[in-house]
Structure 1
Amino acid sequence: MTRKKISIGKTFVAILALAWLVIAGAPFYFMVASAFKEQFEILTTGVFALPKGIYFDNFAGVIKSQFYKYLMNSTFVVAVSLVLILVTALCAAYPFSRFRFKFNKPLFGLVVAAMAVPIHVTLIPVFQLTQKIHLYDTIFALIGPYTAFNLPISVFILTSFMAEIPKELEESAEIDGCGKYRTFFHIIAPLSKPGLATLAIYNAVNMWNEFSFALVLTQSAKSRTLPLSIWEFQGQYNSNIPMIMAVLTLCALPMIVAFAIGQDKLIKGMMAGAVKG
């Protein structure tokens, strides 16, 4: 009887997983399939119909445009912001998780509270500040907001991750003559790699797809990132849906490759610390 219940439960879970796969995969399939269709083919065939042939002109048109410039801007902004986030979060999470000082909990409470601040509330102040420091309409204008708004959750996650690292490792290092700095760089930081990998993928996806700050803080094509390239192509080609789908496919491809490479570290980072003892 128990085995029968387990079998029914597994079947039910499998059905739900399959249904979720169809729901989540349908938009992706539509995007890729439409990208290989001609301009009016999508209007004369079914929405989810396979393309009649492999039509690469949509991708060629996107690549010949300023797409490469948008791609380089996004790559630079995400890379620099990601390094700043990970280094700062690593340095902040260490004292929060390992030291007990007077303002530990109040300061950590401020970090947690900062996670609740909506980014759209800060658009006008950040826009004014960017103009005053003469960074408006440059890719450097995006690095500050991207770092600031992704830092609180990064510190929170990394602090929880570091708190699960056994303190006996630090005690052994101290007996061997390691100071706090050597312990941090040679023990805590290497053991935090799964958590850092999780944060890297999570933050990279968020910043890669960010639209609001990119729209407000940049104006010319030389400073815009990939999300705005989609917006530009939509205005330029109007209802040329296959062209727009080609842009979306090329924009999503780097994050898909990054996730495929780092998915094992992402899962390890998410599961690390979930079981105590």
Structure 2
Amino acid sequence: MADQAKIPVVVNGAAGKMGREVVKAVSQAEDMELVGAVDRNPNVVGEDVGIIAGCGELEVPLLNDLQSVLVLATQQEIQGVMVDFTHPNSVYENVRSAIAYGVRPVIGTTGLTDDQLKDLTEFAEKASTGALVVPNFSIGMVLLQQAALQAAQYFENVEIIELHHNQKADAPSGTAIKTAQMLAELGKTYNPPQVEEKEHLAGARGSVSEENINIHSVRLPGLLAHQEVLFGAPGQLYTLRHDTSDRASFMPGVLLAVRKVTELRTLIYGLEKIL
């Protein structure tokens, strides 16, 4: 990289479980430079983010002010990138702030509403700034979704089960919602009613997406990130499942997104759009 400037990267939510993995991955990438780290946890503010992430001293202190760190990213030779793994309650404002500063956001935080995504897309286009919103950075999950699209051509009945650790704040997961949306784009009507259902406990059948696909959410300690897509037909059940056992599995997708977002001039939703 001697003859080419490295991509300046800011990690927001750097002390979290995913944030620490991103810090390690970015610091080890030859074409990237970690220039800032943000986290609201008062117990770690001021500490070296490399020590927090377990990858050794990086001389990058953890700060709790996103605005000041975004300014650091604008003072680099080339346009910076913000990787955000924070909380659904703050992600919308984080993305708007990054775009306003001319820093390209790569968003792994789920929970953005359709209206927020529409607003951020318009904001990014006006600013000619690339942005990536990725519900799941796993290449394996992208392959599962592609297999689901193939299966949906032959099955009318499908349900989704997503299972995550019990510290995940939103449900259903962004990945499950995205999978249902992708199936809907085929223009099919799913799960034609066979009987008049009655729930004796509210939510027993899960949530129902606009695509008429039931999505069931499980939250338990011991889980990380898992998803099943079940297709049923008379006499057969076709199950697609993806399991994550280590957050390191998401890092190739994160690094790919950091590289690809520098080429964009608008907001793109989904990792499959850049593969």
TM-score (normalised: structure 1): 0.22
> Bigger relative contact order, structure 1 or 2, given CA contacts below 8 A and separation 6+?
1
- Return the structure number with greater strand share: 2
Q: Considering only CA atoms, is the larger Rg found in Structure 1 or Structure 2?
A: 1
TM-score (normalised: structure 2): 0.22
- Return the structure number with greater helix share: 1
